Amino acid sequence: MKTPDQYIESLRKLNLEVYLLGERVKNPVDHPIIRPSLNSVAMTFQLAHESEHKALMTTTSHLSGRTINRFTAIHQSSQDLVNKVKMQRLLGQKTASCFQRCVGMDAMNALYSTTFETDEKHGTPYHRRFMDFLQRVQEEDLVVDGAMTDVKGDRSLRPVQQADPDLFLRVVERRKDGVVVRGAKSHQTGMVNSQEVIVMPTMALREDEKDYAISFAVPTDSKGLFFIYGRQSCDTRKLEGSTLDVGNHQFGGHEVLAIFDDVFVPWDRVFLCGETDFVGTLVERFAGYHRQSYGGCKVGVGDVLIGAASLAAEYNGAAKASHIADKLIEMVHLNETLYSCGLACSSEGHPTRAGNFEIDMLLANVCKQNVTRFPYEIARLAEDIAGGLMVTMPSEKDLRSERTGPFVEKYLKGVASVPTEHRMRVLRLIENLTLGTAAVGYRTESMHGAGPPQAQRIMIRRQADLEAKKGLAKKIAGIG
């Protein structure tokens, strides 16, 4: 398994094409806006080498029997699924941001069973290809991104009906040695910090949409693949050199628009090509795994936000107020409810025909449905406790200034025993988590990541088995 330094050095060897604020980034590894997100991924390597956390961060490969990072593993039991959620909560606590490896892990587990079943029906070679890819990922401890979300264009139209056929990623050429693909994937978490990307279709497809039924893996520095870095609120504060004003200056997340401009994919890296009858299976399984993930990662970040709100109450001199205590209790209650859902869908996991374990799909969607709501209330309560100074506070430069510094120090003082700078730092952290760059990985991502609320409601309706419930009611009511 890689150390954090080995991981960072491996990224330096990539020839990534990244654009940020209209210009190509020569060195993504050390760019001040990008680097905090890289630090979050590096934490997944660091904790795997710490004795206190090895049990959660590592597991045994069912392919080689060697110890591997859990982010590269295929779940072999319900306990593996539970440990995944616990690991994600731990990393959320350590980084207070998105640590970016979950999408690739969830994509690999979805592909493992889907390729197996596709081969069963169609006699295709996809599962063996995927296993070869997986073995390399485990041996080299690679960071793998997962790319599902197409830009979609006109939402009222199918892929083949779009004015521009490239608005859903598709195969534009089939060769003896592979395929050429064109399109874009949006909201791509951590792709600049990844060595590989697994691409999947974004929705169930019809027979006449075979060109869009494509899943594959390519290196992130493949010819024709480039990235346009997404804006985040307060992102240019990272260029100012202030650790205070950023709030969480160590860690962060990122999203990119990934452009596949006629990228060549060799056949040995193609895991689905034209089998539209298995696209819906792949999409639903990936979505299920990823909705389970939110019962861990968002809870860990929530732990940090609750801690920051509690500190703010103390620094403001309001910790003993009964309404503050009640708000903190409510925040904990909501956060632990999310965690309970993550654990529940994991504990009720079951084996697929391929042998890996899958979460309970209904409970995973209930988990994510709650995540679309509860973090917003947790954030609202944190902002309530913090007070308006969180968004009207002067900068660190004003605190350090000879002219204004003494007045900032004097008039922004809360409890006399607490340094003014400490109060400012915790307020900036709350701002970062609820409104700033970390909000991408907490607040807004809680709504749209792994699918918006309606996507979960559709799946809950499918999985609810209302006919069985009606049967129970008929039996109790004596209806023959």
Choice among 255, 275, 358, 396 that is catalytic: 255
Please say whether the beta carbons of 137 and 269 come within 8 A.
no
Active site residue 442: no
Choice among 126, 294, 339, 442 that is catalytic: 294
Closest by alpha carbon to 254, among 5, 16, 4? Answer: 16
Active site residue 297: yes
Choice among 196, 358, 431, 445 that is catalytic: 445
Tokens of 472: 């129970």
CA 419/CA 383 separation, integer angstroms = 21
CA 426/CA 440 separation, integer angstroms = 19
CA 386/CA 398 separation, integer angstroms = 21
Choice among 72, 149, 297, 352 that is catalytic: 297
Choice among 102, 273, 341, 345 that is catalytic: 102
Active site residue 445: yes
Please say whether the beta carbons of 98 and 145 come within 8 A.
no
Choice among 17, 75, 98, 442 that is catalytic: 98
Tokens of 258: 């990934």
CA 380/CA 184 separation, integer angstroms = 34
Active site residue 98: yes
Choice among 59, 124, 189, 372 that is catalytic: 189
Q: Which residues contact 252 (CB under 8 A, 6 or more apart)?
A: 36, 37, 39, 40, 97, 98, 232, 437, 438, 441
Choice among 212, 290, 431, 442 that is catalytic: 290
Please say whether the beta carbons of 361 and 291 come within 8 A.
no
Measured N-to-C along each axis, helices 102-122 and 279-316 cross at an angle, to the nearest 10 degrees, of 170
Tokens of 417: 């025993």
Question: Got the DSSP string for 189-217?
Answer: ETGGG-SEEEE--SS---GGGGGG-EEEE
Q: Which residues contact 57 (CB under 8 A, 6 or more apart)?
A: 44, 47, 48, 50, 69, 70, 87, 90
Please say whether the beta carbons of 94 and 301 come within 8 A.
no
CA 336/CA 299 separation, integer angstroms = 7
CA 408/CA 415 separation, integer angstroms = 15
Active site residue 255: yes
Catalogue the active-site residues.
Answer: 98, 102, 189, 255, 290, 294, 297, 445
